[in-house]
Amino acid sequence: MKYIDEFRDGALARKIAAQIAAEVRPDRRYHFMEFCGGHTHAISRYGVTDLLPDAVRMIHGPGCPVCVLPIGRVDLAIALALEHRVTLATYGDVLRVPASNGLSLLKAKARGGDVRMIYSAADALALARKNPAREVVFFAIGFETTTPPTALAIKQAAAEGLANFSVVCNHVLTPAAIGNILESPEVRKLGTVPLDGFIGPAHVSTVIGSRPYEYFAEEYCKPVVIAGFEPLDVMQAILMLVRQVNEGRSEVENEFTRAVTRDGNVKAQALVAEVFELRRSFEWRGLGEVPYSALAIRGEYAAFDAERKFALETRKVADNKACECGAILRGVKHPRECKLFGTVCTPENPVGSCMVSSEGACAAHYSYGRYKEVPIKAAA
């Protein structure tokens, strides 16, 4: 299949790996963060790290929307289902995220809450149309990729006068997270990791384009290469990053030219700007409070904002002390450095959010046998 089979060619992968090995300098190490969980999944699934020289270390970032959702926000959704008795609709991975008091949305459903798994924002809207006597709340999550469909659903609800439909907005922004990783007071508590460059997300970049990353390349002298999700995409991006580091360049390069442009999807950006505005601050699991890193529903669409409609307040809830999810999301620790990984914490019995989502670093490593690997390459 075009753009899939040819990007999974094993012989070509070995050639790119040989080129990377030939170009790494013997006097240094290379530390690259793949921001997006989709890239983490591809790297684990296809054994990309097995093809890389020891000098190149891949570091997992916080680009999994389910993983970065703090417990307090999941508690909001559970309260809506069990206390306000609404029909709560959200994506499948969110249902299993551990929350307070041993609960999750799936367990709330078992206790009688009307919790529905959906595949799109349009599905939530359809639920509201079919059940006019029920309050239907869409618990929306995701980076810039899933934000435009949520904005469209709110606009359609307003146009149709669906007074029984509202949204809890948990949409977060990629550039703010990258900035937080590069410069944040949280590093004093969790530590930091050397970073020489980023593999930029694929789907997010189809919406926002490559332009927003130019600030990081210029201000922090960190090269960014936007890459697709196939194994050869990732390997080509690593080669491009190695070359930038060797040449002393810090630029934004686009490996994913078949889908990403510099300006992105302008129509989608305009739709999001019409319906949403920046929050002053938002809590991320693993990153803490990050200023201007998330979106809220504008006042013009306040009737469809569940947080206002039901007077909801988010409270901070500490993560399980034994879980290293926060440090893993920052790239400070590897999944295998968590004592719970693969023993107490598995995809069937997740303790932390990194094991819940298929895009989570822990789930990716567990699912593809990475927990059986030899000891982690030491960071220089």
Q: Give the tens place of pLDDT for each residue, 211-242.
A: 999 998 999 899 999 999 999 999 999 999 99
For the stretch 124-172, pLDDT in tens is 999 999 999 999 999 999 999 999 999 999 999 999 999 999 999 999 9
Please give the angle made by the CA atoms of 304, 306 and 309, to the nearest 5 degrees.
85
pLDDT at 1: 52
HSE-up (13 A, CA, CB side) for residue 85: 2
Residues 240-256 have pLDDT tens digits of: 999 999 999 999 999 99
* CA atoms within 13 A of residue 349's CA, in its CB half-sphere: 6
Average pLDDT taken over every residue of the chain: 91
Closest Cα partner for 88 from 124, 121, 123, 120? 124
Q: Name the 3-class secondary structure at 346.
A: strand
CA-nearest of 159, 244, 165, 231 to 198 is 244
Using DSSP, state whether 113 is helix, strand or coil. Answer: coil
Q: Do residues 304 and 167 lie in contact, with contact meaning Cβ atoms separated by under 8 Å?
A: yes
| pLDDT attached to residue 376 | 46
Yes or no: say if 187 and 238 are a contact pair by the CB < 8 Å rule: no
Say if residues 151 and 272 touch (Cβ distance below 8 Å).
yes
Alpha-carbon distance of 174 to 36, in angstroms, equals 9
Residue ranges with strand state E in 154-294: 165-171, 197-200, 224-226, 252-254, 276-278, 281-284, 288-291
Percent of the chain at pLDDT above 70? 94
Q: Tokens 């270390």 identify what position?
A: 57
Q: What is the CA radius of gyration of the chain?
A: 21
The strand pair at 276-278 and 295-297 is best described as: antiparallel
pLDDT of residue 375: 45
Query: Is the whole-model pTM more than 0.75?
Result: yes
pLDDT band at 193 (very low <50, low <70, confident <90, very high): low
**Spatial separation of the C-alpha atoms in residues 260 and 271, rounded to whole Å:** 19
Which amino acid belongs to residue 319? Answer: D
Residue 3: band (very low, low, confident or very high) from pLDDT cuts 50, 70, 90: low
pLDDT of amino acid 2? 64
